[in-house]
Structure 1
Amino acid sequence: MIRNWGLSSVLLIIVSGCATSDIPDKTAKVEPQRPVLIVKPVEYKKEVTQISAPTSSSKVIYGKASFYANMFQGRKTANGQIFDQGKLTAAHRTLPFGTRVKVTNTSNHKSVIVTINDRGPFIRGRMIDLSSSAFKAIGNPRTGVLNVTMEILK
């Protein structure tokens, strides 16, 4: 009897291993893809007036400034220049390339003049991305983001 019971259980195990399930696999199969950033071209209107120094009529814009990560060092910027962390450059979403901007830290009133040569930042709430050397001139890089004012010089 024990022999038949043992033989029955072995046969039952073998037969159950050959059975297939009729339940469909409900796990989603997604291929990982890199996110795609679509940036629409911006049209610029040339203005005849050129301002070489801030005046009382200069527009002052308040916002937040961040700085480029080191991974962008040596890569091309939106205007075709090679990015250099040591230069006083910045990225802005809409200002024309070559525009000089005075960026002032509102907490310590230190300021730096940078030239726009790239597009960005593409993070909500940030107004300008500074090169590392420009950011160091007005604040501590450990903070990551500064409250600043921005004056367009030229």
Structure 2
Amino acid sequence: MDTAAQREYAKVLNRLPAVPASRVVRIDHSGRKEKGRASYYARHFANRKMADGRPLNPNANIAASKQLPLGSVAKVTNLMNGRTVTVKVEDRGPYIVGRVIDLAPKAARALGMQQEGVVPVEVAPITVPNRDGVIMLGAGAADASPSEVQDALETTAALRGLPSPAQEEASR
């Protein structure tokens, strides 16, 4: 749910320094930004099953993260050119030291990273589902428009099989 308190917390998270890429694979529900390197899926991964059970669609803005919970929505910024893309986390990986996110080819094109293949990025979660089913706002929500936050909340709810904020509001 997008509340004033969550918006304030997102602003606090956004002011914290980004967490560097970690060697340890652990799910981070904090919503903090992360810095590291991004790569993108090779063509032969198209239609292979991802961690969430769906097939990889190379023409979608999806990503793999070893830190963010599945169902998170994050804004990824290419630190070489400033371009950004919003992605849904639906897979696990990358498992190469220093890399924080693997992107579908469509998202990689949006960041302008096809030539380099691997680029430095900052990953700012907009929404992060917690273990108890509550969807929290992350650091990326501080700079996102209200419609971006609403879209991220709806997406995370759908990916996690939770009622959307609009459905919750209607049931009250």
Uncovered stretches (5+) of structure 1, i.e. residues with no partner? 1-48
Task: Report whether the alignment pairs 1:129 with 2:102.
Answer: yes
In 1: Cα distance, 2:6 partner to 2:85 partner:
20
Q: Is the 8 A contact 2:47 2:55 kept in 1?
A: yes
Residue of structure 1 in register with 2:88 after alignment? 115
| 1:101 aligned residue (74, 79, 82) | 74
Identity of aligned residues (%): 38
Name the SS of the counterpart of 2:96 in structure 1.
coil
Name the SS of the counterpart of 1:147 in structure 2.
strand
Residue of structure 2 in register with 1:150 after alignment? 123
| Amino acid paired to 1:108 | N
| Amino acid paired to 2:98 | G
In 2: Cα distance, 1:94 partner to 1:106 partner:
20
Q: Quote how far apart the aligned CAs of 1:109 are.
A: 0.8
Q: Quote how far apart the aligned CAs of 1:55 are.
A: 3.1
| Amino acid paired to 1:57 | L
Name the SS of the counterpart of 1:94 in structure 2.
coil
| Amino acid paired to 2:45 | F
| Amino acid paired to 1:115 | K
Q: Quote how far apart the aligned CAs of 1:56 are.
A: 4.8
Q: TM-score, with normalisation over the residues of structure 1?
A: 0.63
Tell me the matched-pair count: 104
Q: Is the 8 A contact 1:73 1:85 kept in 2?
A: yes
Q: Is the 8 A contact 1:105 1:138 kept in 2?
A: yes
RMSD: 1.7
Q: Which runs of 4+ in 1 moved over 4 A?
A: none
Residue of structure 2 in register with 1:55 after alignment? 11
| Amino acid paired to 1:148 | V
| Rg larger in structure | 1
In 2: Cα distance, 1:116 partner to 1:68 partner:
13
Q: Is the 8 A contact 1:139 1:146 kept in 2?
A: no
Uncovered stretches (5+) of structure 2, i.e. residues with no partner? 15-31, 128-172
Q: Is the 8 A contact 2:34 2:100 kept in 1?
A: no
